[in-house]
């Protein structure tokens, strides 16, 4: 058994975002991501084949999501979480430069049984 604190041992002054695998198993990946002011390059959008759920543990961030009616920016603070379905175009627009922004990210493959996947609280 391996127990650690997600908010300990936070590096500072990272030249790029740090992604650390916590769990990699068949069909699922869980990472701790640490940002210190990094964002996605301008006009760069993620279009992933996996579903993604992110929880902001500390710091602050802004995501930009492309929706059917255009881009939308989401301001995130600790405790905020987002479900990003596979192929939902998105990018990290901003992260707090003066503190560690720590994310917990979970990715999993889409399957035909997920056609009825809904977000809790979205109904």
Instruction: Give per-residue pLDDT as tens, 23-69.
Output: 999 999 999 999 999 999 999 999 999 999 999 999 999 999 999 99
112 pLDDT higher than 90: no
Token pair 């929880």 is found at 55
Residue 34 lies in a domain: yes
Whether 6 and 30 have beta carbons less than 8 Å apart is answered as no
Global confidence as pTM: 0.87
Residue 54 lies in a domain: yes
Instruction: Give the chain's domain count.
Output: 1
Residue 68 lies in a domain: yes
Residue 76 lies in a domain: yes
Residue 27 lies in a domain: yes
119 pLDDT higher than 80: no
Domain of 102, CATH number, reads 2.60.120.10
Residue 123 lies in a domain: no
Residue 73 lies in a domain: yes
Q: For residue range 71-104, what is the model confidence (pLDDT) as tens digits?
A: 999 999 999 999 999 999 999 999 999 999 999 9
115 pLDDT higher than 80: no
């Amino acid at each position: 058994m391996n127990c650690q604190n997600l908010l300990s041992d936070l590096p500072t002054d990272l030249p790029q975002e740090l992604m650390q695998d916590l769990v990699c198993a068949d069909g699922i990946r869980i990472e701790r991501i640490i940002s210190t002011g990094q964002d996605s390059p301008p006009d760069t959008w993620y279009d992933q084949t996996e579903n993604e759920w992110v929880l902001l543990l500390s710091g602050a961030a802004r995501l930009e999501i492309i929706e059917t009616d255009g881009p939308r920016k989401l301001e995130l603070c600790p405790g905020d979480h987002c479900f990003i379905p596979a192929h939902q175009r998105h990018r990290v627009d901003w992260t707090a430069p003066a503190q560690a922004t720590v994310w917990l990210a979970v990715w999993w493959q889409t399957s035909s049984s997920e056609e009825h996947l809904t977000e809790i609280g979205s109904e």
